[in-house]
Each structure stands twice: as structure tokens, then as C-alpha cells.
Amino acid sequence: MKHVTILVPKGNANLSSITGSHEILTSANAYWRKQGNKPRLEVTLASTESELKLDAGFVTVHPIHIQTIQKTDLLIIPSAPYSAQLIRENEAMIGWIREQYLGGAEIASMCTGAFLLAATGLMDGRMCSTHWSAEASFRQLFPKIKLQADKLITAEKGIYTNGGAYSFLNLILFLVEKYFDRQTAIYCSKLFQIDMERSSQSPFFIFQAQKNHGDSLIEQAQTYIEEHLSGKISFEELAAELAISRRNFDRRFIKATGNTPVEYLQRVKIEVAKKSLEKGRKSIFEVMEEVGYSDDKAFREVFRKITSLSPLEYRAKYNRGATSA
């Protein structure tokens, strides 16, 4: 039998990712036993505290202490609102997570639980996902980690991460299939009505202009880009206007925003296009021209690259009133 530890960190951890993980895993175990098998998992909640209040104090949980667990097979780190205090308050838990992994345990982090996972140092040089809204903060704090913010799930060397919010349900199904079998995962998918086919969180991205970096020159460049979406932008000319070489401009832009100037321009254009497709009745060609694309093929390729959907698919998903192409 495998031992699963769902951690409850200090700092108002997300209750749904704790209770949801517990419920699905125990339901998988019950289904597995009904098929005539022995129990596959033992699931416990653990923390450095004997009592924690969650959801603004509405719910109280009583986990066992992590030091009473000598060895576990799978650690689950739930989502928790990130702050520097979150890391400070959970230093003992972070060290324990690292020890358990080095002792053979696997780890699954959910949403912004990736910040606690990253603080262990285990993810340096490895792939990781987290909520799209935390992308800029995560990249700034943990530059050695290969953040894959578009991925719904990443898996590398016994460490599993997922994207934002309720996409933790897809990670739990992934773990059910790994620890039980495909049929049990399908059963849980049907029981809890979770779409098993999701593989990306890109359709749910809301691109945020990263302007809290403190580089005033790059902020000027960002503002210029955002105000000239419908025209052709020459980054050579923009760099010259800002009295900086193109090479240094690119370097500073990437350091400040996490994107090259071209990537930033594409993301801003596509975010504006997404909003037009969601709210209005403009045709896809009108939206394409509105954000400065004259090549239909190029627009569709960039749109799919960023959202994982075609413009037509995106509009069908988020705008019920629009019918024209």
C-alpha cells in the first residue's frame, strides 16, 4: 500500500485543493476495492501545526504532525496565496519536503503550491507549472526553474505540477491513473465530471503587462507597444529612440518582462484580439486588422500558439452571440 500525505501549510492554504484531492483519491481507493483489489492508498493530512483555520477561519482542520511520518510515497502540496511570509512560515515544512523527496517520495504541487515546492531548491533546472497570474512573480523569484506556464501538467523525475485553480483536478486524475489504472481514472472523471482531455491552461490566460520590474526605460517601450498595436513597430527604431543598442534593449526587455519584445508585442495583440472576440460581433478578419495583422495565416498561427485554440474556436468558446467568420 502507498502512503499519500496531503500537506496543510500555514498561510490559509486553499481548502478545495485539500478536500478535493482527499475525496478523489479515497473514491478511487473505494472503486479499486469494489473491483476485488486490496486498498492501494492510505491518505493522510499533515502539517507542522495540530490545528489550522482555513477559508478565512470558516473551517478548522486537525492534521497530524509531519514529524510523525517517517516515510511517505507521495506528497501533495495544495495551492496557497503566495507571499514572502508563506515561505518564512513554512521553512520547517519546506525542509521536510526536500528530505522526503531525497528519501524516495514523489511530489505533486497544485497551482501556487509551486512556490513552496520551488523554495525546496529541488526544481532548479527542471520544468514546473503554476497559475498563469503568478507567472511573472515566479520567474522573478526562481529564475533557474524552467517555468512552463502554458502547461496544465508537468512531470519530471517524480515531481508533478499543474497550472491554476481547479486544474488541480486534472493532476489528481493523472495521479489516479498512475497509482491505480486508466479505468479507475475514467471512473473518477465521470463521478466528479472532470474533463480528462485538457492539456493546456493557455485558453484561460489573461495576459498581464509586467510593469512592476522597476526598469523605466522598458516601461516606456511597453507603453509605446501597447499604444501602437495597429501599426508596424520597428524595434530597431524604438531602441534608437530610447538611446540604447538593440542588443541591450532586447536583454533588458527579457530581464524585465520575461518575454522578448516580439513575444510581448504578440501577446498584447492577441490579448486585445481575445477581448474583441469575447465581447463583440466583429468578424475574425476585422479583429485581425484591428490588432495590426495583415496576414491571415500569421494571425491564426500566433493566436493558436498563445491560446492553443484557433480564433474561431476561441470565439465559439467564449462568445455565444457571434456567428460570422
Output the tens digit of pLDDT for each of the chain's 325 residues. Answer: 999 999 999 988 899 999 999 999 999 999 999 999 999 999 999 999 999 988 878 899 999 999 999 999 999 999 998 888 899 999 999 999 999 999 999 999 999 999 999 999 999 999 999 998 898 889 889 999 999 888 889 999 999 999 888 889 999 999 999 999 999 999 999 999 998 777 666 666 667 666 778 899 999 999 999 888 888 899 999 999 999 999 999 999 998 888 899 999 999 999 889 888 988 788 899 999 989 999 999 999 999 998 889 999 999 888 876 554 4
Distant-in-sequence, close-in-space partners of 198: CB < 8 Å, separation ≥ 6: 152, 167, 170
Nearest to 208 by CA among 145, 137, 311: 137
CATH label, 216-318, candidates 1.10.150.670, 1.10.10.60, 3.90.1150.10, 3.50.50.60: 1.10.10.60
CA distances for 113 relative to 66, 88, 249, 271, 294, angstroms: 17, 14, 34, 27, 42
* Per-residue confidence (pLDDT) for residue 324, from 0 to 100: 47
Q: What angle do CA 239, 244, 246 make, to 5 degrees?
A: 55
SS3 269: helix
SS3 202: helix
**CATH superfamily ID and name for 2-202:** Class I glutamine amidotransferase (GATase) domain (3.40.50.880)
The two domains 2-202 and 216-318 share their CATH topology (first three levels equal): no
Domains of the chain, by residue range, sit at 2-202, 216-318
Count the residues in the chain. 325
* Per-residue confidence (pLDDT) for residue 3, from 0 to 100: 97
Global pTM reads 0.70
* Per-residue confidence (pLDDT) for residue 52, from 0 to 100: 93
Please give the Cα distance from 147 to 255 (Å, whole number): 15
Residue 89, classified by CB atoms within 10 Å of its CB into exposed (0-12), middle (13-18) or buried (19+), is middle
